[in-house]
Amino acid sequence: MQQIDLGLPTPLDWEVAPADWARDDVTALTVSAPAQSDLFVDPAGGEPVLSAPRLLTAAPEGDFQFSARVRVGFAGTYDAGSLLLHAGPRHWAKLAYEHSPQGTAMVVSVITRDVSDDANGFVVADAAPLWLRISRLGPAWAFHASTDGTWWEFVRHFRLDPTATPLRFGLSAQSPTGAGCPVWFDRISFSATRLADLRDGR
């Protein structure tokens, strides 16, 4: 299994590999999301869709912050690039930069404990690149997003309690209704520090 070093504590590997991807730099990656790929367990019923490419590594012990700048070649509805926490097919959370049904680029978060919820965040003007961040704070997690990499908007604060499957984290790309899309991840960063405040913008 190929391992990819992006400057995190341990290398990442493809749990679900895309048809095409490229390493752009030490902390940059391009992923092509295949047509009809998604990661979602519909709360209204139906079979889970777990086909989205995802590049993951083991989550270390203790508090940390993981972030990346994300750019998406939006075309189809729900095309997205995401940061992902993953502990099995029905136990995961993603912070996504997504193409809405209204044709806008926006922040979306999904927490899955057997079934998925789906929560919209803020709209991003002109589909500009967006920074996403996952923070671990003891038993809890926080999602933030930023248009400039400096001022962070609060998105979610939640628990994702452990299952029998070890927790992993990393990157994902999807194109649930479309013919596929490119997603660029760069400025990938990891810090073994605790986020001081959920809502102070830092």
Per residue in 80-127, pLDDT tens?
A: 999 999 999 999 999 999 999 999 999 999 999 999 999 999 999 999
| Nearest Cα residue to 81 out of 91, 67, 95 | 95
- Give the burial string for 90-106 (b: 16+ CB within 10 Å, else e): ebbbbbbbbbeeeeebb
Cβ–Cβ < 8 Å for 91, 168: no
Architecture of the domain made up of 3-191: Sandwich (2.60)
Give CA separation, 45 vs 4, 63, 87, 88, 173, in Å.
35, 35, 21, 18, 23
The one-letter amino acid at 201: G
- Tell me the average pLDDT of the chain: 96
At 164, the pLDDT band (50, 70, 90 cuts) reads low
Helix then strand then coil, % of the chain, to nearest 5? 0, 55, 45
The one-letter amino acid at 169: F
- Rounded-to-integer distance, Cα 123 and Cα 130, Å: 11
- Rounded-to-integer distance, Cα 149 and Cα 48, Å: 33
Give CA separation, 144 vs 36, 84, 174, 175, 201, in Å.
27, 13, 20, 22, 9
At 26, the pLDDT band (50, 70, 90 cuts) reads confident
- Please give the model's pTM, rounded to 2 decimal places: 0.97
